A = this chain, B = another copy of it.
Amino acid sequence: MLGVALLGAGRIGQVHAKSITANEGCRLIAVADVFEEAARTLAAAYGAEARSVEAILADPAVEAVLIATSTDTHSDLIEAATAAGKAVLCEKPVDLSLERALACLGRVEASARPVMVGFNRRFDPNFAALKAAFDAGEIGKGELLSITSFDPAPPPVSYIKVSGGLFRDMMIHDFDMACWIMGGAPATVSAVGSAIVDPEIGAAGDVDTAVVTLTWADGRIAVIRNSRRAAYGYDQRVELLGSEGLLAAQNVLENTVEKTTAAGKVSAKPEFFFLERYMRAYEIEWTAFVEALKAGAAMPVSLAEGVAALACAEAATRSAATGARVSITPDMLGAA
């Protein structure tokens, strides 16, 4: 039994608590949260204890820590937990500051403890099937990747202001998907964005609609489309053109019912948002972390990969502002 502690008892922490306790090889020992009441309630629901982070890190029974706290605490907690000898699964993004994330990466590499970043979409069965088919050579060499990622509705502007901006907060997932599918970080990033959904988002210095184009040195290209609003729900698709064909992962629909009348054929909407669409992915993500730990294998999503996604976000933010194509240089990826 793997002894686990959960840091963060908010919405996503609750999702993770479920995955941790559903895994027969894990025991949830403790939960921490800045709001003690939240920690207590969640801990009680799963027969665990509410504790401080310090108490958790000091407990040798805790072998792994899942970090689901606010983004500004991720780097510090990763460092503290690895320093205490724990294995770590940390929610995305690693940090809003690429500089800070790079420093964290250096310290973690020194600690030699396993750290995984929680890019849940890699574990969605549909995207995983696309990746597997591609890696099996079913469409030859990958040439042009397209990722669509639209949220149902923008978050409150108060959240936007502390989010780090669309590229770091929302498109970070898509940067990781692109690097994962294409097998490494891109060479250049070109971005455009605008606040067309809600001018208040523009007034807060952010964009709500954006298109980013990535290139690799060998000529491969990826394009990412993001919008903070799709009236029909959560739109999550991937399409990869290869030398021998096209692979596409379409949306998961709410049901399979079709109604045909004089107005046409109506089928269901996509599943509404990430808690519906990716619930299964979160479970698989946790299982993948636990199995890699037990096998002593490489983490399914490394901290360096988390930093690479952040480097793309940093570059996109700059490109959107200046109109220039931005290169991803080795130092942005933590290369010595």
Which residues of A are interface residues toward B (Cβ below 8 A)? 125-126, 129-130, 133, 138-141, 143-144, 146, 150, 188, 190, 192-197, 202, 209-211, 213, 215, 218-221, 223, 225, 227, 229-233, 235, 241-252, 255-270, 323-325
Contacts and interface: CB of A to CB of B under 8 A. Distances in A.
Contact of A194 (B221, B264, B267): B221
A227 B129 CA distance: 24
B227 A143 contact: yes
A218 B231 contact: no
Number of copies: 4
Contacts of A251: 256
Contacts of A140: 231
A268 to B, nearest CB: 6
B243 A215 contact: no
Given A225-B223, A255-B125, A245 B269 contact: no
Contact of A262 (B133, B150, B232, B235): B232
Contact of A244 (B220, B225, B261): B261
A265 B262 CA distance: 15
B211 A221 contact: yes
A193 B324 CA distance: 15
A198 B250 CA distance: 29
A3 B76 CA distance: 48
A130 B260 CA distance: 12
A203 B22 CA distance: 48
Contacts of A249: 255-258
A175 to B, nearest CB: 16
